[in-house]
DNA sequence: CCTCGATCTGCATGCGCATTCAATGACGCC
DNA sequence: GGCGTCATTGAATGCGCATGCAGATCGAGG
């Protein structure tokens, strides 16, 4: 940069300020405010942060700050306080609507607590760890985590407050806020049995995720207890995407005998399945019962009206935000794991099995 | 060679390092790496940033950094370089699916360029300006902007690179990347006329947004040119939300005579309308034609299959990201305004008006 | 053998803010 | 009137990194 600070004083003259070029204006610093207010820089800091300053001085400083349009630079403050007031949110796929709800609730709660949210897309553990460690953030929420990722432990070792949101890890290294996926998926199984379904299929999520694992486990267990066998040819394990749900259902519809009901491990998959059913002219729920998991906002739309397991994302995200904030503020409590109870929401994509 | 920080040196002893408490570990700094590698701190900086350093030194530094798990602190770097490699994205409502596409494409392109995205929720201009000025970001993309907001000008005055994405301002203060909303909405009008509709309603967006204004203007103009009058009782101007679209359609359905077609200023409104139609037992497109604008991902789902104006969000977001990055890197070109052409996508929510 | 230039590296410093410490002054009390 | 107390403020410093500058080393050319 060819803008050598003027010889002498810290923020003095600054050369001839350029002839006329619409150069990016030198930003206002606390020194400028101090000069205008006739005080020392630290006094500006104190006046603005609520330190011990006389009323008269404070108002003079505030007036000067106002007049110059002074806004403290984050970088300086962060360097001095070792705090950024920024929280990282790691998500696998922003296109997954589920995360919209998460992001919204999470951001909202954090904004209230004076934090900003910075997004991190899923990447390999090493890359992600480096990005998260660069100190740009005070804490992290991981929403897309595989069971055996070493990320939570590594973050813990680096002293970066972390919370798992929605998915959890195989090892209890950090705080977590999750739904009771086993219980939720059991409810689905019970409902299907109750409706008389006996040829039941499923589109499960990835086994290496806690939601994928638990929702499969609860579902299978409950069915087994009811003496109903899963229809093997009508089961798939796929990634949590709309496309995967779509094509999995197409495949499943080809099983013989065709299943009368399909459990989808999340709503994104379920909606993909509904679309596939529509494409194939399969009437839901007359010909096929579809039940999802999550209860995203759109699942209650009239054109979808999906029977699903309600997961209180709002509460989960807010709780995660609060856990994180308390950690960032130095709480040294034991590991916490908050489990939010699920609830079956019956809408119009499920129906009793048809005789014959 | 005084290669170890002498006592009294910057990073010496540091007390007795505590007995055993699992205190948050003191983070590794470039001084630690320097000490381990037996060089001075600046050499570490140069080795890592590709400065002039001998191969032998570089590898020693890299090894030390690796061994300590060193990751440069963003705050320090930002303070020194006046650059954060972070871009702010201001969005009104994260629950609006439209922004998901924007966010995804935008984030992706920026990640490639080495930038992170920090979210800012819409707030009053003053608050937002303060947040954006705190220097945490190198540039801003505004997606939810009202026509007469002073934000673009103020950001410009503060020297913060800014780009308008999707919506634009009444004054050309900063770069913008938008769709040709007038042309797009004209296409809709022409289509409706072509299908024989003569009782046409509309759910417009807020007039104080450029998209709301232009999509209404183009639509009205084209209809007028075709000699077709808008059905006044079947027009509404509402915020861009699903709920607003839903209730607006319910109201419009009560107009008499009922319209045979409704143009919705964006897909979120259109889907709200589709849901309302479904709730009211109105068959789309048999009883009512609905056309939207945006062509969000979900608009092509089989259960929605909305006829709409395709807006290439991906291109728009990527272009905006590129504009922004070039500004941040110091490009001093003239104001740029990129207009992306829209395209009518005909699916299954529109149909010829029924005789009788 | 000396000089010059090219590399490489260390020293000193600044980025903007918060914070510790000491100095100053005001005030009250004996 | 002297002295202690408290409130207020300034001076000095550090946070972690990048960079201008100067010194050192080395090789080549004269």
Q: For chain A, what percent of residues have pLDDT higher than 70?
A: 92
As a dihedral over the C-alpha atoms of residue A302, residue A303, residue A308, residue A311, rounded to 10 degrees, the angle is -70
Count other C-beta atoms under 10 Å from residue A300's C-beta: 15
Of B75, B79, B303, the CB nearest to A304: B303
Residue A305 has pLDDT above 50, yes or no: yes
Phi–psi pair at A2, nearest 5 degrees: -90, 60
Q: Measuring CA to CA, which residue among B96, B98, B143 is closest to residue B295?
A: B98
Residue B209 has pLDDT above 90, yes or no: yes
Residue B25 has pLDDT above 50, yes or no: yes
pLDDT value of residue B22: 41
Cα B144 from chain centroid (whole Å): 8
Contacts of A159 in chain B (CB under 8 A): 24-25, 27
Residue B14 has pLDDT above 50, yes or no: no
| Cα gap B143→B140, rounded to integer Å | 10
Tokens of A18: 């350029």
Phi–psi pair at A27, nearest 5 degrees: -70, 155
Residue B1 has pLDDT above 90, yes or no: no
Question: Nearest-CA residue to the C1' of C18?
Answer: A80
Straight-line distance from CA B14 to C1' C16, in Å? 25
Q: Which is higher by pLDDT, A311 or B25?
A: A311
Identify the band that residue B24 occupies on the pLDDT scale cut at 50, 70 and 90: low
CB contact under 8 A, B159 and A279: no
Q: What is the pLDDT of residues A309-343, one digit of tens each?
A: 999 999 999 999 999 999 998 777 789 999 999 99
Sheet holding B261-264, edge to edge: B230-237, B200-204, B261-264, B289-294, B307-310, B343-345
pLDDT value of residue A27: 83
3-state secondary structure of A158: coil
CB contact under 8 A, B136 and A74: yes
3-state secondary structure of A265: coil
B84 touches strand D (CB under 7 A): no
Residue A23 has pLDDT above 60, yes or no: no
Residue A260 has pLDDT above 70, yes or no: yes
Straight-line distance from CA B131 to C1' D10, in Å? 30
Q: Given CB atoms, is A190 within the 8 Å cutoff of chain B?
A: no
pLDDT value of residue B16: 34
- Whether the full predicted model's pTM is greater than 0.85, yes or no, is yes
Task: Count Cβ neighbours within 10 Å for each residue of B328-338 and write b for 16 or more, e otherwise.
Answer: beeeeeeebeb
Kindly report the nearest CA distance between residue A356 and chain B, in angstroms. Answer: 28
Identify the band that residue A19 occupies on the pLDDT scale cut at 50, 70 and 90: very low
Contact partners, residue B199, CB within 8 Å, separation at least 6: B231, B234, B257, B258, B259, B260, B261
Weakest-pLDDT range from A19-23, B141-145, B189-193, B317-321? A19-23
CB contact under 8 A, B71 and A104: no
Which DSSP state fits A69? T
pLDDT value of residue A50: 82
Q: How far is CA B133 from CA A47, A69, B120, B139, B286, in A?
A: 19, 10, 12, 10, 53
The count of C-alpha atoms lying within 13 angstroms of the C-alpha of B128, restricted to the half-sphere facing its C-beta, is 24
3-state secondary structure of A297: helix
Average pLDDT for residues A83-97, to the nearest whole number? 88
Cα B170 from chain centroid (whole Å): 19
Q: How far is CA B227 from CA B170, B198, B214, B222, B346, in A?
A: 30, 10, 20, 9, 23
Q: What is the pLDDT of chain B when averaged over all its residues?
A: 89
Give me the residues of A, 61-80, that contact B with CB < 8 A: 69, 71-76, 78-79
The count of C-alpha atoms lying within 13 angstroms of the C-alpha of B78, restricted to the half-sphere facing its C-beta, is 24
Q: For chain B, what percent of residues have pLDDT higher than 70?
A: 92
Q: What is the pLDDT of residues B106-154, one digit of tens each?
A: 999 999 999 999 989 888 888 899 999 987 899 999 998 999 999 999 9
SS3 track for B20-77: CCCCCCCCCCHHHHHHHHCCCHHHHHHHHHCCCCCHHHHHHHHHHHHHHCCCCCHHHH
Q: How far is CA A252 from CA A40, A107, A266, B81, B318, in A?
A: 74, 38, 17, 57, 38
H or E element in which residue B318 lies: helix B313-328
Cα A271 from chain centroid (whole Å): 20
3-state secondary structure of B202: strand
Give me the residues of A, 265-304, that contact B with CB < 8 A: 271, 274-276, 278-279, 297, 301-304
Contacts of A158 in chain B (CB under 8 A): 25, 27, 69
> What residues are paired with A254 via a beta bridge?
none
Which DSSP state fits A298? G
| Cα gap B268→A175, rounded to integer Å | 36
Tokens of B308: 């709409």
CB contact under 8 A, A119 and B107: yes
Weakest-pLDDT range from A287-291, B133-137, B307-311? B133-137
Average pLDDT for residues B252-274, to the nearest whole number? 95
Identify the band that residue A16 occupies on the pLDDT scale cut at 50, 70 and 90: very low
pLDDT value of residue A355: 67
Question: Nearest-CA residue to the C1' of D6?
Answer: A52
For residue A129, give the chain B residue with the closest CA. Answer: B71
Q: Nucleotides of chain D within 7 Å of a protein C-beta?
A: 7-12, 14-21
Q: How far is CA A282 from CA A54, A188, A275, A277, B283, in A?
A: 76, 21, 10, 5, 19
Cα B28 from chain centroid (whole Å): 35
| Cα gap B140→B165, rounded to integer Å | 10
Sheet holding A86-91, edge to edge: A337-340, A175-179, A162-165, A139-142, A86-91, A116-121, B116-121, B86-91, B139-142, B162-165, B175-179, B337-340
Q: Given CB atoms, is B114 within the 8 Å cutoff of chain A?
A: no
The β-bridge relationship of strands B162-165 and B175-179 is: parallel
pLDDT value of residue B256: 86
As a dihedral over the C-alpha atoms of residue A31, residue A34, residue A36, residue A39, rounded to 10 degrees, the angle is -150
Residue B10 has pLDDT above 50, yes or no: no
| Residue whose token pair is 């929510």 | B349
Straight-line distance from CA A268 to C1' D20, in Å? 56
């Amino acid at each position: 940069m060819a803008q050598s600070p003027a010889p002498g004083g810290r923020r003095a003259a600054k050369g001839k300020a350029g002839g006329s070029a619409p150069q990016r204006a030198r930003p206002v610093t606390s020194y400028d405010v101090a000069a205008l207010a006739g005080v020392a820089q630290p006094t500006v800091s104190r006046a603005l942060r609520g330190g011990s300053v006389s009323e008269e001085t404070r108002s003079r400083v505030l007036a000067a700050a106002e007049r110059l349009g002074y806004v403290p630079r984050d970088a300086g403050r962060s360097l001095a306080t070792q705090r950024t007031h920024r929280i990282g949110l790691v998500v696998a796929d922003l296109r997954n609507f589920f995360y919209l709800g998460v992001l919204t609730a999470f951001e909202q709660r954090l904004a209230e607590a004076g934090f900003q949210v910075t997004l991190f897309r899923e990447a390999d553990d090493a890359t992600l760890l480096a990005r998260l460690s660069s100190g740009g953030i005070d804490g992290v929420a991981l929403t897309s985590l595989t069971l055996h990722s070493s990320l939570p432990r590594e973050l813990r070792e680096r002293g970066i407050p972390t919370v798992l949101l929605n998915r959890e890890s195989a090892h209890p290294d950090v705080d977590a806020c999750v739904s009771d996926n086993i219980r939720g998926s059991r409810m689905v199984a019970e409902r299907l049995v109750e409706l008389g379904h006996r040829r039941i299929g499923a589109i499960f999520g990835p086994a290496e995720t806690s939601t994928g694992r638990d929702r499969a486990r609860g579902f299978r267990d409950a069915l087994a207890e009811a003496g109903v066998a899963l229809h093997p040819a009508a089961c798939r394990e796929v990634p949590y995407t709309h496309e995967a749900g779509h094509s999995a259902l197409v495949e499943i519809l080809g099983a013989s005998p065709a299943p009368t009901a399909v459990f989808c491990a999340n709503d994104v998959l379920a909606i993909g399945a509904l679309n596939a059913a529509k494409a194939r002219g399969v009437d839901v729920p007359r010909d096929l019962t579809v039940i999802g998991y999550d209860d995203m906002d759109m699942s209650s739309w009239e054109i979808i009206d999906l029977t699903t397991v309600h997961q209180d994302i709002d509460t989960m995200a807010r709780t995660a935000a609060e856990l994180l904030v308390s950690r960032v503020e130095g709480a040294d409590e034991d590991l916490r794991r908050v489990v939010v109870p699920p609830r079956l929401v019956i809408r119009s994509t499920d129906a009793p099995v048809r005789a014959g």
